Amino acid sequence: MKRTLLALAMLFALASCNKNEEQQKPQQYNLQLDLTAQVDEGATARAMDYKLSSGKVKYTLEGKPKMSVLTCIYEGNNLLYSRNHDWDVSDDGKSLKCNENINFTAVVSNPNNLRLIAVLGDATGTPNSLALSSSYSPGNQIKVFSETEAATLNVPYIMDVKLGRNVSGFWVPKTETKIFKPYGHLVRVKMTNQTFYDVTITGLTSSKFIAKGASLNATAKTLTREDYEGKQTFPLSKEISIANSKSDQSVILWVPTLPTNENSYKLDLIAKDAPAGRLYSKMKLTKTTPNYENGKLYNAEITLYRTRIANPLSLLSEDVLNYQETDFVDLPNYNYSNLSTYNGTDKVGYFKAAYIRGKYTRDNHTFPKTGATQWHLPNRHEWNSILFAPNRIAPQQYERVKNGKVAVQVNNYKASVAYQTYNPQTNADLQPGQSFYVLAYGKTATTLETDFNAELSNDNRFAFRYTLAQGGGGLIITCAPVGVLDISSAEELATSNVFNSSGAVTRRIRFYGMAKTGGTDKAINKDVTWGGGTVADYIAKDGYFGAFSILNNAVVADWTGADQLYSIVKFFKRTDN
């Protein structure tokens, strides 16, 4: 992105007055401005359009008869005048021209310290605090560039020139070359497909890369970015089809600043009809530096990968089986403290372990809400695929880091895999709002069970985050594909953006509790005598990390009492891959 060069001719006539009076009270001034701006090839102006020309990013002024320029007169850092003026675009679309008289009233202490600051960019506010309108809003399209299709990007430019008297006594810029300097960075995003399948890209997801907005200080020449909270989705203006090679189409983004820490942001590709939770992206800026230069175009490459196995959490049902055994419950008004929101004949079912195992373990079942999708009660190895426990070293305390191996099953995939847990809590127990992390499905040399051969690669790694929700909201599990990403430990997941990726899948295990009844196979009411309803009254025998504490991860395991019923009947989806 080249700079915009301006050829300026200015007449700045000061009203005739006594110098002492001029310094004491505001005077009327007239700035006769005759300015022609020549736009260099490849440069940009206020919210101008961009397109590709022979593979290079170039501006276009076509269809824009005028451009608005914020014109400011300063004495040193003291603002005397500020207003937007329309500059005419020349017929050939290569220059801008402004020919206006500017009148203002101000106190000028030192006429030799006058300066002109002009800003190109779609912004509002004062020159020291200009709010730039965003080129990207969630849900709005990101334009795909081409040789024939242009896109508007709000790139701010600043010109700052000192004024002085010429031989005729008029005020003109002191320097011969006048330059509008661009601020922020253009990023050209190239896409590579390493999924071994044809894919169609329909959008981007961004976490801390595409900015929500920016504030520009025209005098200090600084940009401050404002970020969105969490992950945001931006559809593309048209679909991009990519075989297992690079696409010849690009997406050009403007960002106010580029993060220097690659782990602090994430930009993902969204693929059409993609299997849930299996695709993930690796983004890399081709040039990284602690000091990115304003106005430079930087290249980024996003490589799309696909795990060989399904995201294991994507197979888990959204909620538990209802009392009638006809469907999964859907409780939008669930409140842990209000039993009526989840107890009743049409709500959560509480079942005896032997009863529910006998009906749903061996056979596949369909339910109205999910149509023809088949479900079954998970076996031990399937529960192992999503439940990884840190080692307990004392009541309410767990090891900070644990390295383990376990036999898992995800559909037809059976393997012995390595995993590592990380609990960042200093007191080692999990409180509401806190999380622990697991990096799983790693390679190992150990075969733990017959038919569960050792996993020999890291291509199918997944990251898990387990968060204890506030107010009895349950245990929130998020699983994201990691695969070949540069993540080597579970501790790195605590500060990683991997859980904001487009492949992340989330499930919530709510604390519906247990029922206690004499001899029946199922019930509709939670037994409140079993404690306060924390993780302990859900499925935890020891009362702490509930979903990971019971015997062998067998979630509907029998306890000592024959009259204990459980609400933990969650199902796995039956698929072929």
CATH number of the domain bearing residue 301:
2.60.40
Q: How much is the pLDDT for 538?
A: 37
**318 and 286 within one domain:** no
Does some domain include residue 131?
no
Does some domain include residue 146?
no
**282 and 368 within one domain:** no
- CA–CA separation, 73 and 116 (whole Å): 5
**543 and 489 within one domain:** yes
Structure tokens at 149: 């299709």
Q: Of 306, 335, 363, which residue constitutes the final position of a domain?
A: 306
Does some domain include residue 142?
no
**Hey, which of 383-387, 441-445, 518-522 has the most confident mean pLDDT?**
441-445
Does some domain include residue 149?
no
Q: Is the pLDDT of residue 555 over 50?
A: no
Q: Of 271, 306, 341, which residue constitutes the final position of a domain?
A: 306
Does some domain include residue 388?
yes
Q: How much is the pLDDT for 85?
A: 86
**370 and 476 within one domain:** yes
Q: How much is the pLDDT for 486?
A: 92
Q: How much is the pLDDT for 532?
A: 36
Q: How much is the pLDDT for 374?
A: 87
**91 and 78 within one domain:** yes
Counting the structural domains of the chain, the total is 3
pLDDT, mean of residues 471-490: 90
The answer to whether the CB of 364 falls within 8 A of the CB of 414 is no
Does some domain include residue 461?
yes
**223 and 111 within one domain:** no
**10 and 70 within one domain:** yes
**In whole numbers, what is the pLDDT of the chain averaged over residues?**
78
**511 and 403 within one domain:** yes
**160 and 194 within one domain:** no
Residue 149 CB coordination number (10 Å):
13
The answer to whether the CB of 515 falls within 8 A of the CB of 527 is yes
Reported as a pLDDT band with limits 50, 70 and 90, residue 281 is very high
Start-to-end CA span in the chain (Å) = 47
Q: Is the pLDDT of residue 495 over 70?
A: yes
Bridge partner residues of 283 (DSSP) = 302
- CA–CA separation, 222 and 184 (whole Å): 9
Does some domain include residue 129?
no
Q: Is 304 exposed, middle or buried (0-12, 13-18, 19+ CB in 10 A)?
A: buried
**244 and 227 within one domain:** yes
The answer to whether the CB of 266 falls within 8 A of the CB of 482 is no
Q: Of 247, 277, 306, which residue constitutes the final position of a domain?
A: 306
Q: What is the pLDDT of residues 34-77, one digit of tens each?
A: 555 444 444 433 455 666 666 666 656 677 788 888 888 898 88
pLDDT, mean of residues 434-455: 95
**415 and 502 within one domain:** yes
Structural domain boundaries enclosing 222? 186-306
pLDDT, mean of residues 325-340: 90
Q: How much is the pLDDT for 280?
A: 94
**Hey, which of 230-244, 347-361, 476-490 has the most confident mean pLDDT?**
476-490
- CA–CA separation, 512 and 326 (whole Å): 18
**351 and 262 within one domain:** no
- Spatial strand order of the sheet with 213-217 comes to 123-126, 129-132, 213-217, 222-226
- Greater pLDDT, 353 or 351: 351
pLDDT, mean of residues 437-462: 97
Does some domain include residue 128?
no
Q: How much is the pLDDT for 406?
A: 94
Q: Is the pLDDT of residue 202 over 60?
A: yes
